Structure 1
Amino acid sequence: MSKTILYARVSTTDQTLDHQKAQAEAAGFVIDEVVADHGVSGVSTTLQERPEGKRLYDKLRHGDTLVVRWVDRLGRSYQDVTDTIRHFMRQGVVVKTVINGMTFDGATQDPMQEAVRDALIAFMAATAQAQAEATKEAQRAGIAAAKADPKKYRGKKPSYDRKALGVVIDMLGRGEGASAIGKATGLSRQTVLRIKGDPVAAEEALVRWRM
């Protein structure tokens, strides 16, 4: 009998496990089992190097579904994410994301569908790595700002959270307009344009406020 497994990676600045599970269920997923790694980095560790992540390779079988909030839960490295998704597809596992409702299925035999699927995998993996690099840069900048002026360091609290920022960056990457993104995320058009103009600064603000 096929099953649906949610994999969650929870680091110090990420959403909680309960939040990720609630998001998946709100999106319509019926979760049979949750596998989670706590306090691990998606940058410095591959999925197979994490205590719980490596269990997925033994647990998942042909016909199963692997659910993740977004591909960055699998990893923050382009190579790691693409290798992981393609490995599971070869095993007959369907990989689905909560954000944007993406489905990666290796069963398709249509060349055009394969091309579109592979392009999406590559794009989302590249975005995950870019966000990770932006986070590291923001953390370095935030530390420098804190040392220079601790009182002014935090600035104004962002009107968006990490989930909304991820959606904005993803939609921008797909060429969506600021108004459409604002409608989808509930953010003002001005906020979307500020994120578009300086995504590193947007990420830096979240880091400063530990959001």
Structure 2
Amino acid sequence: MTIKPQTILYARVSTTEQTIEHQRTQAETAGFVIDKVVADVGVSGIKTRLADRQEGRRLFDLLRAGDTLVVRWVDRLGRNYADVTDCIRELMKRGVVIRTVINGMTFDGSTTDPMQQAVRDSLIAFMAATAQAQAEASKEAQRAGIEHAKAKPGAYRGRRPSFTREQFEQVQAMLAQGVGASEIASEAGVSRQTVYRIRDDAAAAAAMLERWGRMS
């Protein structure tokens, strides 16, 4: 019996503010027909390799040659350069096609043309490096924001932030990818002014979240 190829969405959220359903909706809005969703909840993409996550291990067991793996962006696989590049290469060796919702990238291991392979591998390396660099920049902004907030423990908190930690991180990630403010605002569900605020002073935005207890 011939087994029909599957399109599997892998989603990962690291905080309770984030939702798996949002990532599925994004994928379906982009035109993907999802057969199955595999998701890790409350798992860091920096500290935990994909193969060490409970559902990440299941993902490797499920995927077969001819299947398509969909992720919002490569940072859902992880935010560690070596882990992300190793995972994508391993999946391509198995005959799995990896596609991203953001930027609409496709990574296919079937090509034998050396120039196409070089371009593909360079893109994988660049995107994985960007994911790690963005994670490090986000953590640094958060640390600066927390220190700023702690320095004035009795300070007036100001207006409640109009964005969550998830949106803060998503905006930073998309800015790192060179996405325009209007597209980021639409994708993240925030105003363009919020995008500009995070872009121009990420530490201040992180401090605002910390003062309202929304950065943990």
Q: Same fold (TM over 0.5)?
A: yes
Corresponding residue for residue 53 of structure 2: 50
Corresponding residue for residue 15 of structure 2: 12
Question: Once the 2 structures are TM-superposed, how far is the Cα of residue 104 of structure 1 from its aligned partner?
Answer: 0.6
Q: Report the CA distance shift for 1:108/1:99 in structure 2 as closer, same or farther (over 3 A).
A: same
Corresponding residue for residue 104 of structure 1: 107
What TM-score comes out, normalization by structure 2 length?
0.80
User: What's the CA shift string for 1:19-39, capped at 9, x where partnerless?
Assistant: 011111111111100101111
What TM-score comes out, normalization by structure 1 length?
0.82
Q: What are the residue-to-residue correspondences of 1:79-90 with 2, within 5 Å?
A: 79-90=82-93
Corresponding residue for residue 171 of structure 1: 178
Aligned-residue CA RMSD (Å)? 2.8
Q: Report the CA distance shift for 1:42/1:159 in structure 2 as closer, same or farther (over 3 A).
A: closer
Task: Give the AA of the match of 1:122.
Answer: A
Q: Are 1:143 and 2:146 counterparts?
A: yes
Question: Once the 2 structures are TM-superposed, how far is the Cα of residue 131 of structure 1 from its aligned partner?
Answer: 1.4
Do 2:13 and 2:19's aligned partners in 1 also have CA atoms closer than 8 Å?
Answer: yes
Q: Report the CA distance shift for 1:36/1:193 in structure 2 as closer, same or farther (over 3 A).
A: closer
Task: Give the AA of the match of 2:184.
Answer: T
Alpha-carbon distance between aligned partners in 2 of 1:206 and 1:117, rounded to the nearest angstrom: 40
Do 2:197 and 2:205's aligned partners in 1 also have CA atoms closer than 8 Å?
Answer: no
Q: Percent identity?
A: 59
Alpha-carbon distance between aligned partners in 2 of 1:10 and 1:130, rounded to the nearest angstrom: 18
Alpha-carbon distance between aligned partners in 2 of 1:125 and 1:58, rounded to the nearest angstrom: 23
Do 1:158 and 1:205's aligned partners in 2 also have CA atoms closer than 8 Å?
Answer: no
SS at match of 1:31: coil
Structure 1 unaligned blocks of 5 or more: 173-180
Q: Report the CA distance shift for 1:133/1:202 in structure 2 as closer, same or farther (over 3 A).
A: farther
Task: Give the AA of the match of 1:204.
Answer: A
Aligned residues: 201
Alpha-carbon distance between aligned partners in 2 of 1:116 and 1:132, rounded to the nearest angstrom: 24
Do 1:3 and 1:64's aligned partners in 2 also have CA atoms closer than 8 Å?
Answer: yes
Structure 2 unaligned blocks of 5 or more: 186-190
